[in-house]
Amino acid sequence: MPTSFSSDRTMTQTLLLLAGFALLIGISVGTLLLVDRAAEDSRSVAHTLRVQAMMSNVLLNMRRAESGQRGYLFTNATRYLDDYNAAGPAAEEQLRLLREQTSDNPRRKSELDSVERTMNRKFAEMDRSIELGKAGRSDDARDFVLGDRGRELMSDLRQQIEKAIEDEGRLLAARSEASQHTNRLLLFLSIAGAALIIAVGGIAVMLMRRNIADREAARQELAVTNANLERIVEFRTADLVEANEEIQRFAYIVSHDLRSPLVNIMGFTSELEALRKDIFEEIGKLRAHLDELNAHAAAQATPVDTLGRDFDEAVSFIKTSIAKMDRLINAVLKLSREGRRQFNPETIDMNEMLGSIGETVAHRAAEQEATVTIDDLPAVESDRLAIEQIFSNLIDNALKYGRPGEPVKIEVTGHANAAYVAFDVTDNGRGIDPRDHQRVFELFRRSGVQDRPGEGIGLAHVRALVRRMGGTLKLKSELGKGSTFTVTLPRRWSDQTRSVA
Amino acid sequence: MNSKMSQEPVEIIMIEDDEGHARLIEKNIRRAGVNNRITPFTNGTDAIAFLFGPDGSAVANKNKPLLILLDLNLPDMTGVDILGRVKSNEHLKRIPVVVLTTTDDATEIQRCYDLGCNVYITKPVDYENFANAIRQLGLFFSVIQVPTAN
């Protein structure tokens, strides 16, 4: 699973979430505004209705006043006059309120002005008729009323008010329309918002599910890869172990078969040596015989003992080489045999082991005035024979390669951690040239002055053993100062810790 | 050598693929003063054919006083096989077998003794040792009693 892919997806998800939030905020703000507008709308609708009601009230009070006037004129009863007197201020009061309510509408103001003018004229007309009535001039009053001026004024007033009411009605219709529009908008916004939120949520859920599915797939893939990897490692290890065993077998067979002809070469060389006496005796006799026949030829011939020396020299070279070859073959054999040997791990008291190795070399050490110091060493669980060979070889080397005129000092120290133990074998000997630090561990290779017997096997053997024990062998050395070989071994050896060396 | 117990002299069967080794062994046996007949075989098949006869029962060699010198490294089979077959045959199992080989592998030696090998000698490259061992073997031949069936 490419990481850019999943990061893209994370980005998308974050963006989606942000978009969802923005949408939610937008919808909330929009809703709030719309709700506010709806409230405003309904307030103005209520206002219109109130204004209409007031206008009707004005007309109603005017009619009350008129009916009071008429009743008085007709009956001369003062209670009608009371009605008339009450209705007048009520109508004016209503008009005043109306003015207050519609102060923001200049058209309404002019309308109300003309209504007021008509009202005042009507009141003047009614007052006049009542005055006539009070003065007892009933007939004059009746004629005044019959003059139809009051009726016309009332009709004007009614028309004016109705027109204003109608006008307010249109305003009401417009406001209702606006209110409905706002409500529709609100509904639409709510539905759209809900739909969008559901859509965003759905996409988010889908992405998340896909993410989870991807993650699951990746996890499974990883598990499969891990299992495969383990199998591959197993196969490789098995291959390496097999290859290693094959090399060991090969080394064994080759070295074994090489010895066979060597036995013959050595055997027949020795036979030749045995024949030498007879041959040279024969030659000696023939020479003597020849001398008698031809003194000159004998003088020119190589003396018999010179021939004998040459012969001996040749045979000696052959035998030395055979012996050397045999040692080399034996070394290969020994290494291959060590490589095939099964290890038997046991707990080894390293102090005891190094002590006994020290005793083995004590005689040689005393001759060289060498000292072997053994520190307190940690124990290790490993193969006894292998460990003994490792340290015997290292101490043997240290004793072997001292500096002339300087008594050899060997020191063995050790320390342990949780999984490994490390041992340092330090000497003050001739040291190893840095160029040869790798080479000295190779089979048949040696370093420095070749003044000591040896085939160059010891360190190769030690390294092979240490590797088989699952450890490492390190060298720190300075020419002319001394060397430190560090053997690091697992605390507990088991088949699993074995490294394929 | 003439064993007091057998009517005829002991015959030495030498199974050795390397003719040089065979010659050196023979020389040193002779030097030890052993003059018995030596029958050489250079491969396992011929040796088996001789020892077990055409029917494979070895009945023909039932009462013959034989001694086998056996090399473990043969071209057609391992000497260990021959040793095993000889030692598990009713008529041949009492024949002394001297294993002579270049292998000084401890487990191989052990295996040979387990199968009933009587003497195991490694052929050292050091000729003096080799000659010595063979001569010792010659002396050994002259004192051992090769059993007969009766």
Res. A223: pLDDT tops 50: yes
pLDDT for the residue numbered A208:
87
- Three-state SS at A136: coil
pLDDT for the residue numbered B4:
43
**Hey, what are A404's tokens?**
């002339």
Chain A residues in contact with B18 (beta carbon < 8 A)? 260-261, 263-264
Number of residues in chain A: 501
Selected residue of A253, A254, A255, A264 to mutate for chain B interface (largest B Cβ count, 10 A): A264
Percent of chain A whose pLDDT exceeds 90: 15
Percent of residues in chain A assigned helix, strand, coil, to nearest 5: 75, 10, 15
Verify whether the Cβ–Cβ distance B125 to A337 is below 8 Å: no
Verify whether the Cβ–Cβ distance A260 to B127 is below 8 Å: no
Q: List the beta bridge partners of residue A356.
A: none
Verify whether the Cβ–Cβ distance B24 to A257 is below 8 Å: no
Tell me how close the Cα of B63 comes to any Cα of chain A, in angstroms.
34
Lowest mean pLDDT among A292-306, A419-433, B33-47, B104-118: A292-306
pLDDT for the residue numbered A380:
92
Indicate the residue of B102, B103, B105 with minimum beta-carbon distance to A263: B102
Indicate the residue of A260, A269, A271 with minimum beta-carbon distance to B102: A260
Indicate the residue of B21, B103, B128 with minimum beta-carbon distance to A263: B21
Tens of pLDDT, residue by residue over A226-255, are 999 999 999 998 888 888 888 877 877 777
Res. A131: pLDDT tops 70: yes
Distances (CA, A) of A473 to A201, A204, A207, A438: 64, 60, 56, 11
Selected residue of B107, B125, B129, B132 to mutate for chain A interface (largest A Cβ count, 10 A): B125
* b/e A198-231 (16+ beta carbons within 10 angstroms → b): eebeeebeeeeeeeeeeeeeeeeeeeeeeeeeee
pLDDT for the residue numbered A279:
87
Res. B34: pLDDT tops 50: yes
Res. A497: pLDDT tops 70: no
* Amino acid identity, position A10: T
Count Cβ atoms below 10 Å from residue A335 Cβ, excluding itself.
Answer: 20
* Amino acid identity, position A111: E
Residues from A contacting B (CB-CB < 8 Å) are 256-257, 259-264, 266-271, 322-323, 326, 337
* Amino acid identity, position A299: A
If you search the block for the tokens 């006894």, which residue do you land on? A384
Lowest mean pLDDT among A93-97, A261-265, A305-309, B83-87: A305-309
Mean pLDDT of A484-496: 86
Chain A residues in contact with B21 (beta carbon < 8 A)? 260, 263-264, 267
pLDDT for the residue numbered A173:
86
Q: List the single residue in A with minimal CA-CA distance to B21.
A: A264
A219 pLDDT band (50/70/90 cuts)? very high
pLDDT for the residue numbered A164:
84
Q: List the single residue in B with minimal CA-CA distance to A319.
A: B126
Separation CA B77–CA B95 (nearest Å): 20
Tens of pLDDT, residue by residue over B74-92, are 888 888 989 999 999 988 9
Mean pLDDT of A181-193: 85
A298 pLDDT band (50/70/90 cuts)? low
pLDDT for the residue numbered A5:
54
Mean pLDDT of A63-67: 86
Res. A351: pLDDT tops 70: yes
Give the pairing type, strands B11-15 and B66-70.
parallel
Verify whether the Cβ–Cβ distance A263 to B125 is below 8 Å: yes
Tell me how close the Cα of A307 comes to any Cα of chain B, in angstroms.
24
Res. A193: pLDDT tops 90: no
Q: What is the DSSP letter of A444?
A: T
Chain B residues in contact with A260 (beta carbon < 8 A)? 18, 21, 73, 102
Verify whether the Cβ–Cβ distance B21 to A267 is below 8 Å: yes
A419 pLDDT band (50/70/90 cuts)? confident
Chain B residues in contact with A334 (beta carbon < 8 A)? none
CB A403 within 8 A of CB A449: no
Q: Residue A177: which H helix or E strand, with range?
A: helix A149-293
- The torsion angles phi and psi of A164, rounded to 5 degrees, stand at -65, -40
Q: What is the DSSP letter of B73?
A: B
Res. A500: pLDDT tops 50: no
- Three-state SS at B101: strand
A217 pLDDT band (50/70/90 cuts)? very high
Chain B residues in contact with A257 (beta carbon < 8 A)? 73
Listed in sequence order, the residues at least 6 apart from A500 whose beta carbon sits closer than 8 Å to its beta carbon are A237, A240, A241, A244
Verify whether the Cβ–Cβ distance A268 to B18 is below 8 Å: no
Q: List the single residue in A with minimal CA-CA distance to B16.
A: A260
pLDDT for the residue numbered A476:
93
Q: What is the DSSP letter of A117?
A: H
Angle made by CA atoms A475, A357, A407, in degrees to the nearest 5: 65
Tell me how close the Cα of A261 comes to any Cα of chain B, in angstroms.
8
Q: What is the DSSP letter of A205?
A: H
Give the pairing type, strands B38-41 and B11-15.
parallel
Q: Residue A258: which H helix or E strand, with range?
A: helix A149-293
pLDDT for the residue numbered A221:
92
A422 pLDDT band (50/70/90 cuts)? very high
Count Cβ atoms below 10 Å from residue B61 Cβ, excluding itself.
Answer: 19
Res. A468: pLDDT tops 90: no
Q: What value does the CA radius of gyration of chain A take, rounded to a whole number of Å? A: 65
Verify whether the Cβ–Cβ distance A264 to B24 is below 8 Å: yes
- Three-state SS at A132: helix
* b/e B16-28 (16+ beta carbons within 10 angstroms → b): bbbeebbbbbbbb
Res. B3: pLDDT tops 50: no
Separation CA A487–CA A470 (nearest Å): 11
Distances (CA, A) of B45 to A152, A251, B111: 159, 27, 22
What is the average pLDDT value for chain A, to the nearest integer?
85
CB B112 within 8 A of CB B99: yes
Separation CA A327–CA A456 (nearest Å): 11
Beta-strand runs (E) in A278-402? 345-348, 371-374, 380-383
Percent of residues in chain B assigned helix, strand, coil, to nearest 5: 40, 15, 45
For the ranges A364-378, A443-457, B133-147, the maximum mean pLDDT occurs at A364-378
Q: What value does the CA radius of gyration of chain B take, rounded to a whole number of Å? A: 14
Number of residues in chain B: 150
Tens of pLDDT, residue by residue over A69-106, are 888 888 888 888 888 888 888 888 888 888 888 888 78
pLDDT for the residue numbered A421:
93
User: So what's the architecture of B11-143 in CATH?
Assistant: 3-Layer(aba) Sandwich (3.40)
Q: Residue A409: which H helix or E strand, with range?
A: strand A409-416
Separation CA A354–CA B70 (nearest Å): 44
CB B92 within 8 A of CB B61: yes
**Hey, what are A363's tokens?**
């005689």
Separation CA B34–CA A463 (nearest Å): 49
Selected residue of B102, B104, B108 to mutate for chain A interface (largest A Cβ count, 10 A): B102
- Three-state SS at B17: coil
Chain A residues in contact with B126 (beta carbon < 8 A)? 266, 323, 326
Q: Residue B66: which H helix or E strand, with range?
A: strand B66-70
pTM over 0.80: no
pLDDT for the residue numbered B102:
80
B50 pLDDT band (50/70/90 cuts)? very high
Tell me how close the Cα of B129 comes to any Cα of chain A, in angstroms.
10
- Three-state SS at A395: helix
Tens of pLDDT, residue by residue over B121-132, are 888 777 888 788
Tell me how close the Cα of A267 comes to any Cα of chain B, in angstroms.
5
Verify whether the Cβ–Cβ distance A323 to B125 is below 8 Å: yes
Verify whether the Cβ–Cβ distance A263 to B128 is below 8 Å: no
Tens of pLDDT, residue by residue over A198-208, are 888 888 888 88
Tens of pLDDT, residue by residue over A395-410, are 999 999 988 888 899 9
What is the average pLDDT value for chain B, to the nearest integer?
82
Chain A residues in contact with B73 (beta carbon < 8 A)? 256-257, 260
CB A454 within 8 A of CB A443: no
Separation CA A143–CA A192 (nearest Å): 72
How many contacts (CB atoms, under 8 Å) link A and B? 50
- The torsion angles phi and psi of A427, rounded to 5 degrees, stand at -130, 170
